[in-house]
Structure 1
Amino acid sequence: MVVAGSETRFPTTPSFRLDGQRALVTGASKGIGRAVAIAFAEAGAEVLLTARSLPEMEATVEGLAAKGLAARARTLDATDRAAVRALVDAEGPFDILFNNAGTNIRKPFLEASDASIDALIDLNIRAAITVAQAVARGMVAAGKGGAIINVSSVNGHVAGVNRSIYTASKHAIEGLTKAMAVELGAKGIRVNAICPTFIETPLTAGVLSDKAFLERTIRAIPIGRIGQVEDVMGAAVFLASPAAALINGASLLIDGGLVCV
């Protein structure tokens, strides 16, 4: 037991590096997923990029290879449960999962169709569960723990107009993250969520092209700007790294203070 004022040990800052780690990133063909795959590789991890579109991922892999970094790409439809489990069995075990595959279909609540509801639930919730479960099973079998980062949203904390179903799906991810953290923590697996505000990506390009909407959104963010993928990259590396060794079940808001307003 350390008595107050008597400690002489100099603590060592934990590493933010991911050397020797194997990382899986879903939804890695563009936007946040692509950026985080690059960040993981730059931090020393061996990264497997997955998404439905292979050519875009191959270009990213080539760019990383040119820098001497380790990355590969595989096509994967995250809603195909059998395909997810087969890929994780064949390519795993992984030390890190960035559980990012997702989408948004903007509709007023009263106009949300059965098809759009099913699409959001299937990809944003069911697929996220399938991927996380498959990777976590591999981590447990390997017996060395790991880090899972579920991609939530600022809408996992606050509501948004024309985003009712999306908001519901991200609230589900918040609950899933906490429950996984409780169940898997004792097995050495940390589970956290990142919750971005609007990040400038191909997914948000349409809505952000609306000048009035863009101006309203910027006014709502105390820091006064829309997010960039770089704003997410460091947060993801941190949560995956030894520097976050005691962080489990947390939701890291990357929102410029929007939720505080």
Structure 2
Amino acid sequence: MDSFKGRRILVTGGSQGIGKGIVLELWRQGANVVTISNQLEDLQRLQAEYPTIETACVDLRDWDSTRKTVDSLGVFDGLVNNAGVAIIEPFLECTQTNFDQTISINVRAALNVSQIVAQKMIKHGIKGSIVNISSQASKAALKDHVAYCASKSAIDSMTRAMALELGPHGIRVNAVNPTAVMSELGRQVWADPVKAGKMLSKIPLGRFGEVEDVVNAVTFLLGAGAGMVSGVQLPVDGGFLAT
């Protein structure tokens, strides 16, 4: 399968977890993939195993350094804003530092990277596609996730605004909203059967998401098969939001 052959796609936070899954699937489908992350060792391991995948290390919280890095990487046909953080704190204990960090990584970085990528798409007449990784937490409250919920709701709103303004240039923008996903970290977070059971009881399909479930949604939205899809938030949640 070479549905992305010849296309150049940037993935943020692509050195581990869902992001790495996206990077590898796009690579398998023939894309020229670039990923940026602040995890240098993970990036080095990724590039050692897949030398044709281009990597760059940058702290996405740093607005100016991020802009310089993304600008230096050239022109892209697609972008996946995957980088994110989840700091678990009850509402009454949420600190300014943790709230600001969550917004900085989950929202502001996506805005920053998207501006650079979209400007070059417009300049070069590229009818590209941008996919933002959101969450079911944007649409349903999760206990002890106040900053995370706020950030993902912001991503959904930003996705709609981006779709509205970039649509006239032929650029599509969508979001994917997963439930809990069994990445390596996800398996650790949901290892407690009591905690897992409470969440699973709210998912009609009766299971957590797997990395490939999210990857499949992302590649669909990036691809030509979604050519008339823009401004949507696509739940990959086993029916969680339907209950």
Instruction: Please state whether the residue corresponding to 2:50 is helix, strand or coil.
Output: helix
Pick the aligned partner of 1:107 from 73, 89, 96.
89
The aligned counterpart of 2:157 is: 175
The aligned counterpart of 2:192 is: 210
1:56 equivalent in alignment to 2:33:
no
Matches within 5 A, 1:146-165: 146-165=128-147
Alignment check: 8 A CA contact 1:81 1:127 kept: yes
Alignment check: 8 A CA contact 2:10 2:35 kept: yes
CA distance in 2, matches of 1:153, 1:114: 22
The residue identity in structure 2 corresponding to 1:27 is G
Matches within 5 A, 1:6-21: 17-21=3-7
CA distance in 1, matches of 2:90, 2:186: 17
CA distance in 1, matches of 2:184, 2:116: 28
Report the number of matched residues: 243
CA distance in 2, matches of 1:93, 1:37: 17
The aligned counterpart of 2:223 is: 241
Q: TM-score, normalization: structure 2?
A: 0.95
CA distance in 2, matches of 1:34, 1:97: 14
1:23 equivalent in alignment to 2:9:
yes
Alignment check: 8 A CA contact 1:150 1:192 kept: yes
CA distance in 2, matches of 1:63, 1:228: 23
CA distance in 1, matches of 2:135, 2:103: 15
CA distance in 1, matches of 2:215, 2:49: 17
1:43 equivalent in alignment to 2:23:
no
The residue identity in structure 2 corresponding to 1:156 is S
Alignment check: 8 A CA contact 2:200 2:207 kept: yes
1:200-241 residue CA offsets vs partner (Å, 9 max, x unmatched): 124434431222111111111111111110111111111111
Structure showing greater Rg: 1
Alignment check: 8 A CA contact 1:41 1:71 kept: yes
Instruction: Please state whether the residue corresponding to 2:201 is helix, strand or coil.
Output: helix
The residue identity in structure 1 corresponding to 2:34 is L
Pick the aligned partner of 1:32 from 10, 14, 18.
18
The residue identity in structure 2 corresponding to 1:221 is I
Instruction: Please state whether the residue corresponding to 2:56 is helix, strand or coil.
Output: strand
1:82-112 residue CA offsets vs partner (Å, 9 max, x unmatched): 1221122211211110101110111110010
CA distance in 1, matches of 2:88, 2:37: 22
Alignment check: 8 A CA contact 1:27 1:33 kept: yes
1:233-253 residue CA offsets vs partner (Å, 9 max, x unmatched): 111111111111100001111
Name the Cα RMSD after superposition. Answer: 1.5
**Structure 2: any 5+ residue segments left out of the alignment?**
none
Alignment check: 8 A CA contact 1:16 1:237 kept: no
1:161-187 residue CA offsets vs partner (Å, 9 max, x unmatched): 111111011000000000000000010
* Range that drifts further, 215-224 or 189-198: 215-224
1:224 equivalent in alignment to 2:206:
yes
The aligned counterpart of 1:139 is: 121
Instruction: Please state whether the residue corresponding to 2:126 is helix, strand or coil.
Output: coil
Q: TM-score, normalization: structure 1?
A: 0.89
Pick the aligned partner of 1:191 from 167, 173, 181.
173
Matches within 5 A, 1:111-122: 111-122=93-104
CA distance in 1, matches of 2:13, 2:205: 28
CA distance in 2, matches of 1:126, 1:89: 17
CA distance in 2, matches of 1:63, 1:237: 22
Alignment check: 8 A CA contact 2:2 2:30 kept: no
The residue identity in structure 2 corresponding to 1:30 is Q
Instruction: Please state whether the residue corresponding to 2:86 is helix, strand or coil.
Output: coil
